[in-house]
A and B are shown apart, each in its own frame.
Chain A
């Protein structure tokens, strides 16, 4: 499979060129490439995807609120990207291993994150918010694109062992300008590593529009590295799931890496530190509101008579409960004592650091003596 290689003209055309199963109005479109990958998805599973997306949006909103209330140093919202994150992450097998960027709240949710996992890093309690082995998700990566190489290295290990696993890496459109992402594609292709690249093209790298990163569909680059790719409507959860199943099948069956560009939109700021009204206009945001991934699936389910009001109410209640647990976990966190700053720098004793630790301990103890 390959994307249609046509220069980007504008956002509307951009979207028309991406693979889709659900139209923005919720109607189902026949997609000869992708339909087979989601033929088993019934109404109950669709409602589960809907529930996931509603909960994710609530988690995200809670993250923003906690930051605004001074409980978190920063938060990277993912509102608008629920379909990409849930659709792709729900396609993963338990044994697969994910190397995310910092915006993959929905991916760690789908991998079983605990309430505190969403906020531990953003609150500044620990460098990594969750246990990588427990979720099979590497720590959230702030350095743009660095994690893509880690995924390929991990995939090389999988390949050496002949294990039935795939490494997956998530990154944004801005990351595609980084050398590491391009090196990752070269290494992945050269070694036929079982790795899936998921580019969430949310159109904005802080204030820089995607056109600054790419004058060509991003998925169009992968074939140049010898990696097949798909460009999907990132606000269509079924298309995202189908594309990911295609990519995972491809990698798992020994055919090497695969690449997905999910064309989506970040509704909020890049992080809680920036102000998108300074760099993008309301009309663009409004046009994307009409493509809201949750509303789209909701409409599709309603059209099919598969979405009862009780389900919507129960889902919202479940989302509120998750947010409540997340807030409680956040507010209940106990910051580690001062000497913990020295913990875990090295796996083995390091005399230089031990000396500094002892000196600082003595300094702290001097206050206790005075008291």
Chain B
């Protein structure tokens, strides 16, 4: 086991994937000499050369469209979108081309493309640098969507995404790039938990807290705080947003009967809405209270000084936990 940051783990994952398969090529803005604006590709140009670590013109649709052409020729392109808010110019190439070509050709054209997106907020960034666009991609058939929350998962899931014959939108929480954790660099990929499975990060009995990405840390903090009040929270990291591992989710909900789903992205038609709808369909009879969402507001991402009012924090999570447990909360007041 090696202790490393999530950012370094991603770099190690890319390096290993490129060593394992010479058809893996990287495309992106500033990923060569600079090593990417977050330095995730640091050192890869030196090891693999400019034909496999390709610095591109500044054009996101062009980058993803190039990846489609390379996939037609049997490559496994890994695209770096520089920031979450810059993915929109590539939207057509992702949802109309990358996502559909396998289906259109009934598998004759494979699109094993990984699109890495530094993602979400909490770093005080400038406008367009803190978006949470995951719902757009979850809504698009043909894509897999992954959101990692720790260095070990980042290293493993990225290699799995690259090895997958399907296109994967790979969300990397910027807020956690410098967070450290243990990574087993030597463990065989085949032994890792499959990419589509959720993980129970902490077991509990009173309510289930479901989230993904950087919010997993917040949820675990909430579980610690709740424990101080005698409340036992189960925390689930979804890891994969398409597909969502509803078997794991349902097993937890059947145990606890109470659910809070949290994410940074805004609420309307978001991932939490889908998770709660599916929980309601699958295990309505086990529910002891209405499932709740704790999300970003339905607003454009606010300026950096205001983002703390947008992002769900520990207290908003605990307030929702109080509500699903029928404890005094922001709606009922202390006297309820």
Contact = CB atoms under 8 A, between A and B. Distances in A.
Interface of A: 97, 99, 126-128, 131-133, 138-139, 143, 146, 148-158, 160, 167, 179-180, 183-184, 186-187, 190, 343-348, 350-353, 355
A190 B62 CA distance: 12
A74 to B, nearest CB: 16
A154 B70 contact: yes
A127 B92 contact: no
B61 A179 contact: yes
Nearest to B105: A128
11 contacts: A146-B92, A149-B93, A150-B65, A154-B70, A180-B65, A180-B92, A183-B62, A186-B62, A187-B57, A346-B102, A352-B246
B305 interface: no
Contact of A183 (B59, B105, B110, B246): B59
Interface residues of B, number: 51
B68 interface: yes
B165 interface: yes
B36 interface: no
A249 B73 CA distance: 21
Contacts, number: 147
Nearest to B242: A352
Contacts of B62: 149, 180, 183-184, 186-187
A242 B35 CA distance: 45
A139 B142 contact: no
B246 A351 contact: yes
B280 interface: no
Given A187-B57, A344-B107, A347-B107, A153 B101 contact: no
A157 B166 contact: no
B300 interface: no
B243 A350 contact: yes
A146 B245 CA distance: 34
B104 A128 contact: yes
Nearest to B100: A127
B162 to A, nearest CB: 13
Contact of A157 (B70, B89, B93, B101): B70
Interface string B99-124: 01111111111101000000000000
Give the most central of B69, B103, B105, B166: most A CB within 10 Å.
B69
Nearest to A150: B69
Give the most central of A97, A153, A355: most B CB within 10 Å.
A153
A153 B69 contact: yes
Shortest beta-carbon contacts, A-B, top 5: A153-B69, A149-B65, A127-B104, A183-B62, A347-B165
B93 A146 contact: yes
A353 B105 contact: no
Nearest to B23: A157
Contacts of A350: 144, 166, 196, 242-243
B283 interface: no
Contacts of B105: 127-128, 131-132, 139, 344
Contacts of A148: 65
Nearest to B165: A347
B332 interface: no
B97 interface: yes
A156 B69 contact: yes
Interface in B56-110: 56-57, 59, 61-62, 64-75, 77, 89, 92-93, 96-97, 100-110
B141 interface: yes
Contacts of B141: 345, 353
Nearest to A186: B57
Interface string B322-333: 000000000000
Given A179-B61, A187-B59, A347-B166, A153 B104 contact: no
A353 B243 contact: yes
Given A131-B108, A146-B92, A187-B62, A139 B101 contact: yes
B164 interface: yes
Given A179-B59, A351-B243, 11 more contacts: A97-B73, A149-B65, A150-B68, A152-B66, A153-B71, A167-B69, A343-B106, A347-B166, A348-B165, A350-B144, A351-B247
B244 interface: yes
B166 A180 contact: no
Given A139-B105, A347-B107, A351-B196, A190 B97 contact: no
Contacts of A131: 105, 108
B103 A127 contact: yes
Given A157-B73, A187-B59, A346 B166 contact: yes
Nearest to B57: A186
A186 B74 CA distance: 23
